[in-house]
């Protein structure tokens, strides 16, 4: 295995002010819905939630791109960072689709949720990009918790630790004998990185000093469309 980034599981941004409290409340409401709907079906949970997780980066990239065109200003690297986040989340989806198959009902939920979430997140980003990034920061805190629980399921034998999908071995440069556990570890490290980046963006927009460095990002293949 390549060296895995250490994931600090204790990171939590204390809500400051109304914007943060709205973001935190919204995230906790969605967490409750996800826990009720999926319980411990972590493979299915990952698929449905990754179809949602890949949306904010593309929305943020689009809106920042348009803003920079209008204002003819530099983006400070935000657009590429957000596009990379969207692509990375889509690779999580492409990985977990090899682990579990969504039911017909889940596919219908995905379609409905995408309509609602894309429009709602786009509107939120236009109104308050700070709140939008804080929402993503809190979503990612929850993702880190969920993947930690998934690891526990694997370690305690309640979910089979199957071989890692080929696409995952290629994308994260994992060895040939890598397992699902190895995949969940690198996915969790990705989520921790997104968590810190988005909390950092939200704090920057709020004019708060946020000196904490983002959790390290695992190594990813550049040619992600090529499956070995
Ligand atoms: Fe993800
Ligand atoms: Fe994420």
The position carrying tokens 């509107």 is 123
CA of 89 to the centre of ligand 1 (A): 4
Query: Counting ligands in written order, which one lies closest to the CA of residue 140?
Result: 2
CA of 193 to the centre of ligand 2 (A): 8
CA of 169 to the centre of ligand 2 (A): 19
pLDDT in tens, 191-226: 999 999 999 999 999 998 766 788 999 999 987 755
CA of 179 to the centre of ligand 1 (A): 18
CA of 84 to the centre of ligand 1 (A): 12
Give the separation between CA 187 and CA 152, rounded to whole angstroms: 15
Q: Token pair of 36, please? A: 């009720």
Rounded to 5°, angle at Cα 45 from 42 and 47: 115
126 or 9, higher pLDDT: 126
CA of 72 to the centre of ligand 1 (A): 32
6 CB neighbour count, 10 Å cutoff: 10
Give the separation between CA 194 and CA 139, rounded to whole angstroms: 10
Query: Counting ligands in written order, which one lies closest to the CA of residue 50?
Result: 1
CA of 92 to the centre of ligand 1 (A): 5
pLDDT in tens, 27-74: 999 999 888 888 888 889 899 999 999 999 999 999 999 999 999 999
CA of 53 to the centre of ligand 2 (A): 6
Query: Counting ligands in written order, which one lies closest to the CA of residue 57?
Result: 2
Q: Write down the pTM of the prediction.
A: 0.93
Q: How many CA atoms lie within 13 A of 219 on its CB side?
A: 8
Check if the beta carbon of residue 50 is closer than 8 Å to that of residue 164.
Answer: no
Check if the beta carbon of residue 62 is closer than 8 Å to that of residue 135.
Answer: no
Check if the beta carbon of residue 132 is closer than 8 Å to that of residue 172.
Answer: no
Give the separation between CA 193 and CA 215, rounded to whole angstroms: 5
């Amino acid at each position: 295995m390549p060296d895995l980034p250490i994931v600090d599981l204790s990171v939590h941004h204390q809500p400051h002010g109304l914007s943060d409290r709205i973001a935190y409340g919204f995230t906790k409401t969605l967490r409750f819905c996800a826990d009720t709907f999926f319980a411990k079906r972590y493979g299915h949970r990952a698929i449905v939630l990754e179809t949602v997780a890949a949306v904010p980066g593309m929305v943020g990239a689009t809106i920042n791109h348009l803003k920079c065109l209008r204002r003819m200003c530099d983006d400070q690297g935000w657009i590429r960072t957000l596009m990379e986040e969207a692509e990375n989340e889509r690779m999580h989806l492409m990985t977990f689709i090899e682990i579990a198959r969504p039911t017909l009902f889940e596919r219908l939920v995905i379609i409905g949720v995408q309509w609602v979430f894309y429009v709602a997140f786009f509107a939120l980003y236009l109104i308050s990009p700070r709140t939008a990034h804080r929402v993503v920061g809190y979503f990612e805190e929850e993702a880190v918790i969920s993947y930690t629980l998934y690891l526990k399921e694997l370690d305690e034998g309640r979910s089979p630790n199957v071989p890692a999908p080929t696409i995952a071995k290629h994308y994260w440069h994992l060895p040939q004998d890598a397992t699902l556990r190895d995949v969940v570890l690198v996915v969790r490290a990705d989520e921790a990185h997104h968590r810190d980046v988005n909390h950092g963006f939200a704090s920057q927009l709020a004019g708060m000093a946020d000196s904490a460095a983002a959790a390290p990002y695992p190594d990813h293949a550049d040619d992600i469309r090529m499956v070995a």
